[in-house]
Amino acid sequence: MNRNELKRKAEDELKKKINAASGTPSQFGLRVKYERKARKITQQELGEKVSELEGNPVHGDAARVLISKIEHNVNQPSRKRMAIICELLSIDEAEEESMAIPMDAYAEMMTELTSVCSKLSPIALSAVLAYAKQFAEYGKGEKNGKSTTEGCDKK
């Protein structure tokens, strides 16, 4: 793997781990997938309904990809799209709010993280990835009232 591929892979891993640690976008994607399957709706059917309600109808594979990217945490949906999906799948609005961080804050953090990571050597990038994995593991405790960073510097 060349350096750019290593960077890209590390960035993707960091995004996944940060999302897992924060408990936000990835939880929404998982919830959408669960609720959609429980209602026996295909990704394509849901994508077509969502895009139609947004006023920009798409069909076929484009509709399927729209939902697939949300479910697999490739894209975080806009507030409007989240609200439409929540309405279609009967997900409580208050619950939906707790599953997402403001898009501008999320985008800003990811931009900054990508910028910093692009300047790192493969060894340093590897260390950042290892730390992010450790942070994500300890971050699970935050939901139980424990400090997210507690113990992160311990081996």
Complete DSSP assignment for 79-106? HHHHHHHHHHHT--HHHHHHT---HHHH
Q: What pLDDT is attached to residue 110?
A: 79
What digits encode the pLDDT tens for the residues 93-135?
555 545 555 566 667 777 888 888 889 888 888 888 888 777 6
- Domain check: are 125 and 152 in the same one? yes
Q: What pLDDT is attached to residue 108?
A: 74
- Domain check: are 47 and 84 in the same one? yes
Q: What pLDDT is attached to residue 154?
A: 40
Q: How many CB atoms lie within 10 A of CB 154?
A: 7
Q: Residue 138 pLDDT more than 80?
A: no
Residue 139 CA, chain-centre distance (Å), reads 15
The whole-angstrom separation of Cα 133 and Cα 152 is 10
Question: What's the total number of domains in the chain?
Answer: 2
- Domain check: are 1 and 51 in the same one? no
pTM over 0.75, yes/no: no
Residue-averaged pLDDT of the chain: 75
Comparing 7-11, 23-27, 110-114, which segment has the lowest mean pLDDT? 23-27
- Domain check: are 95 and 128 in the same one? no
DSSP three-state, residue 6 = helix
- Domain check: are 9 and 33 in the same one? no
- Domain check: are 107 and 85 in the same one? no
Q: What pLDDT is attached to residue 64?
A: 94
**Domain harbouring 58, CATH code:** 1.10.260.40
Domain range for 108: 1-23+101-155
- Domain check: are 40 and 76 in the same one? yes
